[in-house]
Structure 1
Amino acid sequence: MNEQKQDDVPDTAATKGVSAAKTGRFASLRNDPKGWLVAILGIGAPIAFLIASVGSGVGLWGWQAGLGAVPIILLVAIITLLIAIVGVILDRRKGRKTRWPLLGLGTIVTVGFIGIFMNSAISIATLPAIHDITTDLADTPEFIALTLRADNWDNIPGADDSEMRGMNPRQRWATVHQDAYPDIRSVRIDQPAPAVIEKAKRLAEDRGWEIVSVDAAAGHLEATATTSLFRFKDDVVIRARAAENGAASIIDMRSVSRVGVHDLGANAKRVRQFLSDLSGTTTAASQ
């Protein structure tokens, strides 16, 4: 009888322990709501960005929806940083001790996340909204196996610029391209054109590009590069023309984004890096 009564008595020590743990967690939230808010929002912003980009890349939603979420996520990160800064200022003015563990964590993550987008913001502000980059503006390498996007010459900047009045979209593109990327030029390599194309094929494969077409004898290669997060696809064509009776080659390259208006300088960066690796020491060809 006594044993039965003893079994019916609740384990008050264990119950108190659980209650104390719950009370401790709620007390921590009550005592440091600012820290929790900054930590949750600060860590949540990059997670939301990864979800938006990866979801777009695997086809859960369109790339427009994925990109459209980025400004909102970035705004949340900026607001989070402002909350942290204002919170610290108010603590100092009121003579309160700032609780740093959660606040510091959230602030560091937020600053790092915003910093990642600084290069993109600078690119948007300083580079023209074009997505087709080539080393030869007068005689651009043409796609044969791949198809140039139908809207490639739509939305070219400069339509309202008095200095470009009367120019068609392709002429405006060439003008703003030359102003923004004067260093993107044909290069000369002291190797026959077929050998250069074979080397270009190996470099493209090393980069994980999809080789669509390659004709070493004709000095022509086409491939598709895919970005890491949003899985954007950019089409690339490389042209090698014989020089000095075939002992050397003049190499031209073109990189075009399949979607979007502003490439944030990504295609120019791809052309620079690829030609640098292809030639070892890149030498600009005489124009």
Structure 2
Amino acid sequence: MTDQNQTSEPSTSEAPPVSAPVKSGRFGSLRRDPKGWLVALLGLGTPLAYVIAAGGSAVGFWAWQEGLAAVPWIVLTALLTLILAIAFVVFNRRKGRKTRWPLLGLGVLGTLGFLGYLMPYATAYVTLPAIHDITTDLADPPQFTALTLRADNWDDIPGADDSDMRGMNPRQRWATAHQDAYSDIRSVRIDQPVGVVIEKAKRLAEGRGWKIISVDPAAGNLEATDTVSLFRFKEDIVIRARAAENGAASIIDMRSVSRVGAHDLGMNAKRIRQFLSDLSGTTTASQ
């Protein structure tokens, strides 16, 4: 017989431990957001690609033509990134899902900032003529003596197939396109002698960071080179001052020419407007 008073031994078996749920937190949510990562990488990658394309051209890793050729593809990628982001948001709404915005928003902001930076250049490309030689005097442009005018300056002037310019030579087509787009760019009169004006022009040019090539106050001539944009394009400038009113005043003309490219995107005209405004001590609006 079994002893009824015998106590049963306690069971040594225990229930398996239950692991606590792992909280993913913000970073875990980001790891589970492949769509956001894609938009963020594209949105931040497009401006980086532009900087690489321009910077590589500037330091000579590849020709400027190759750097510029990459820009349309970079812009296309930026536009596709926006379309992709919109598609993801619409898809999530239709499925009743919440859109994760940290990465998606970062990509969208990067893309919009990049496109906003390029917008003025795109507008100028569409609205302004494809010329690169801008001057205040179309009939008698100031001439370079220390610098050399580019050999292809009159090549590829637009309008050869335009009925309104039929029979015109390249220089005449250039003058016509120039007058239509930049009719406000004209000679200025300053009530100071030629030498004084050229010295003032030299100080203004140095303040802008231009490289002074030659300056002759007595002859009323100054030549300089400006470097612009991430591509580090060179643009040559000549300023001419002629005496008026027995030397008491001066008539100032200016010419700014891009060394490369057919279209200057309005940069030379903007330079002339701003410089002559400062030189004459007046304020004029720039396009």
The normalised TM-score by structure 2 is: 0.88
User: Partners of 2:210 and 2:30 in 1: how far apart?
Assistant: 51
What is the match of residue 244 of structure 1?
Answer: 245
Q: Does 1:125 align with 2:126?
A: yes
The normalised TM-score by structure 1 is: 0.88
* Paired residue type of 2:213: V
What is the match of residue 171 of structure 1?
Answer: 172
User: Partners of 1:228 and 1:75 in 2: how far apart?
Assistant: 21
Shift of 1:124: 1.1
Partner deviation per Cα, 1:9-48 (whole Å, 9 max, x = no partner): xxxxxxxxxxx9xxx978744x211100000110111111
* Paired residue type of 2:266: G
* Paired residue type of 2:90: I
User: Partners of 1:46 and 1:117 in 2: how far apart?
Assistant: 10
User: Partners of 1:256 and 1:271 in 2: how far apart?
Assistant: 11
User: Retained in 2: the 8 A contact 1:39–1:107?
Assistant: yes
Partner-residue secondary structure (3-state), 1:117: helix
User: Partners of 1:210 and 1:27 in 2: how far apart?
Assistant: 54
* Paired residue type of 2:248: A
User: Partners of 1:228 and 1:124 in 2: how far apart?
Assistant: 15
Superposition map of 1:98-177 within 5 A: 98-177=99-178
Shift of 1:164: 0.8
User: Partners of 2:241 and 2:30 in 1: how far apart?
Assistant: 66
Partner-residue secondary structure (3-state), 1:150: coil
Shift of 1:108: 0.8
Q: Which has the higher helix share?
A: 1
User: Partners of 1:282 and 1:26 in 2: how far apart?
Assistant: 56
Change (3 A) 1:25 1:101: closer
* Paired residue type of 2:274: Q
Superposition map of 1:192-207 within 5 A: 192-207=193-208
Shift of 1:90: 1.2
Q: Give unpaired runs (5+ residues) of structure 2.
A: 1-21
User: Partners of 2:115 and 2:128 in 1: how far apart?
Assistant: 20
What is the match of residue 72 of structure 2?
Answer: 71
* Paired residue type of 2:148: T
User: Partners of 1:193 and 1:262 in 2: how far apart?
Assistant: 33
User: Partners of 2:91 and 2:115 in 1: how far apart?
Assistant: 23
Q: Does 1:58 align with 2:53?
A: no
Partner-residue secondary structure (3-state), 2:102: helix
Regions of 4+ moved over 6 Å:
24-27
User: Retained in 2: the 8 A contact 1:193–1:216?
Assistant: yes
Partner-residue secondary structure (3-state), 2:84: helix
Partner deviation per Cα, 1:93-133 (whole Å, 9 max, x = no partner): 11110000000111011111111111111111110000000
Partner deviation per Cα, 1:194-219 (whole Å, 9 max, x = no partner): 10000101111111111111110000
Which range moves more in the overlay, 108-117 or 262-271?
Answer: 108-117
What is the match of residue 10 of structure 1?
Answer: none
Change (3 A) 1:282 1:92: closer
User: Partners of 2:207 and 2:150 in 1: how far apart?
Assistant: 26
Q: Does 1:181 align with 2:194?
A: no
User: Retained in 2: the 8 A contact 1:275–1:282?
Assistant: no
Shift of 1:228: 3.8
Partner-residue secondary structure (3-state), 1:158: coil
User: Partners of 1:138 and 1:44 in 2: how far apart?
Assistant: 48
User: Partners of 1:26 and 1:56 in 2: how far apart?
Assistant: 41
User: Partners of 1:27 and 1:248 in 2: how far apart?
Assistant: 72
User: Retained in 1: the 8 A contact 2:243–2:251?
Assistant: yes
How well do the aligned residues superpose, as a CA RMSD in angstroms? 1.8
Partner deviation per Cα, 1:202-242 (whole Å, 9 max, x = no partner): 11111111111111000000000011411100000000001
**Percent identity over the alignment?**
74
Superposition map of 1:12-91 within 5 A: 28-29=30-31, 31-91=32-92
User: Retained in 1: the 8 A contact 2:234–2:258?
Assistant: yes
What is the match of residue 270 of structure 2?
Answer: 269
Q: Give unpaired runs (5+ residues) of structure 1.
A: 1-19
Quick check: which has more Rg, 1 or 2? 2
